[in-house]
A and B are shown apart, each in its own frame.
Chain A
């Protein structure tokens, strides 16, 4: 789950990291009031879940409250990478002496969080790591024990930072590390972390991402402190009708799991496939053999006839779908006969001939004899494990292309 900048600022603030006196505003009037309260030059920043705000004109400087209001007015109506802003952030224009970078990410290989610090802030850290590796400090963290300040100190000192800068930055990086763990973040980044002309340190911009699996146990932060609504899931794109319908069918019945995605898919061959790895393998196999999938899907965990039927119907009703391919890797939990029943039912209910509509049925495994009997009765071409996933996908592609030609 991604956060807007104003939320990320609030999160670091809650962790005891100093921030500037910023205001989150949803109208020009609020922006004027915020600028008045700050008193002095401000920066008005668009609140979108997207990078490249500066380039897109979503960040503007203002010397007076009137100017701030005018910028807010314009930015609030400015779409950036297909997103309308949630609001604007009005921030005092900071007198920066030096910019630093601080972040915590997962190191999946070490299976520990990794702190990163650089005295070259404000720019892309990957670039710094490449061009000035001696300016990037790294430190792994324990998952089990309290995070000590000295680990942060070591990471910062590795970049050559010393003196009062080291002593001021240390608690900030340590607190960032603690909040990363406490709030189940997958990314906690302050860039730039600014040293102001008076020597104090503030987080000028922050970027946070929380693991989706942890959203359920972070209600206190999400709902109470940040007041984020439950339905505000921050997906990277709006779900399509197909995706919403499949999710609704899945939610209506606890038996088994079905999933469907069609973002980026526009073909004529509907895929009723599973499970996780099988679906990835089959989607590739269809595409590599010249096929055009209409969607991606997953079946698993032994769904009911109604669920399998529901998924097949949604796929069949997508624009441009001519045939469906029903394919899975060998199943041991999901029952072949139940999926067979479901997909045949879907065809019949839509007034289609299963034998014509189902290009191929390749699901070997539990209850396959029963399943194959049913398929035979309706004239559906099926195969067992002696036909590979590759070959099954190829047969489906040939059929749908033969029909189209």
Chain B
């Protein structure tokens, strides 16, 4: 079992001829993922690590001879909306947007179209997702051998607003002998395609997942939404959270943004202190130190077993 991806998941890379995209295509292929095409307008006929390049998503779908499951979008911010619309309207149901610095209005449009067409967006400003030993979609974990070192299969689902911290936390779970069921880098922007609460039902339905770890930051209402979800749904999954950026609560840091575009405190509710209180009120264990995550998860899984 796994979340959103499986052994047979096919996907394309939009913007495949870019430097970063060439690398992630290599990494995904090495990991065993099925990259069935790439799109860069005007570059039809080329190949990237043996993957055929097309001008349009429709050509890629035609060449594949049937529906394609996903797309990793790595085109510049000004072109991302169009690329995502193209993917959705050509029947693609899972879209990972790597691009950062996309205006919120564009992201909201993509999400609204995805909702209408039954597609799911992960990101933007993310590294994608990985099911250890099965499939990785995006740059998450880096080259296949590095990804294998950080991500062993196991019972813990990971969701993180930081791509780097997705791997840091997963690696600590792997080192502790726990391992990861599916890890999702959900993106660091103020509006993203899939929030913690929106992904919880997938983990809930996944038999392999026994606990959830989330990495959170100040800014936004995503943690409040998760707290509400936990209160409304009698979830079987214990959740352990880590909150970074507590220093941003200091008076002199007010109104400043650190790390990710979404990490800006605009009201009392999005401070670290307020979020921690809200998560804890919902029964989510918030650990003080990053290195306390594996033991806390063990405790939770043990207590539930």
**Same complex:** yes
B139 within 8 A of A: yes
A332 to B136 alpha-carbon distance, docked (Å) = 14
Closest to B228 in A: A109
- Verify if A284 is at the interface (C-beta below 8 Å from B): yes
Considering the chains assembled together, what is the distance between the CA atoms of A108 and B222 in angstroms? 8
**B104 A213 Cβ-Cβ under 8 A:** yes
The answer for the CA separation of A404 and B242 in the assembled complex, in Å, is 32
A309-343 toward B: CB 8 Å interface, digit per residue (1/0)?
00000000000000000001111110000000000
Closest to A298 in B: B259
* B105 close to chain A: CB less than 8 A: yes
B260 contacts which chain A residues (CB < 8 A)? 276-277
Contact present for A330 and B150 (CB under 8 Å): yes
A-B pairs under 8 A by CB, number: 164
The size bracket of the interface on A is 35 or more
Contact, CB under 8 Å: B190 / A280:
no
Would you call A106 and B164 a contact (CB within 8 A)? no
> Quick check: which of B38-46, B50-58, B245-253, B273-281 contacts chain A, the rest being far away?
B245-253
Asked if residues A143 and B162 are in contact (CB atoms below 8 Å), the reply is: no
A108 in contact with B191 (CB, 8 Å): yes
Q: Indicate whether B47 reaches chain A with its CB closer than 8 angstroms.
A: no
Taking a contact as CB atoms under 8 Å apart, the answer to whether B168 and A329 are in contact is yes
A279/B259 in contact, CB under 8 A: yes
Check if B160 is an interface residue, CB within 8 A of chain A. Answer: yes
Set of chain B residues within 8 Å of A158, measured between Cβ atoms? none
In the complex, given contacts A143-B111, A388-B290, what are 8 additional A-B residue pairs having Cβ atoms less than 8 angstroms apart? A111-B112, A217-B78, A261-B256, A276-B164, A296-B258, A332-B146, A385-B171, A389-B290
A-B contacts, 17 listed (Cβ < 8 Å): A106-B108, A108-B191, A109-B225, A142-B112, A143-B111, A213-B102, A213-B103, A236-B256, A263-B256, A264-B250, A276-B259, A277-B217, A279-B258, A280-B259, A332-B146, A332-B147, A388-B291
Using a CB–CB distance below 8 Å, which chain B residues touch chain A? 20, 23, 77-78, 101-105, 107-109, 111-113, 139, 141-143, 146-147, 150, 160-165, 167-168, 171-172, 175, 188, 190-191, 195, 215, 217, 220-222, 224-225, 242, 244-248, 250, 252-253, 255-256, 258-261, 263, 288-291
Report the 8 A-B pairs with minimum CB-CB distance, sorted nearest first: A332-B142, A277-B162, A388-B291, A264-B252, A276-B259, A277-B165, A329-B168, A280-B244
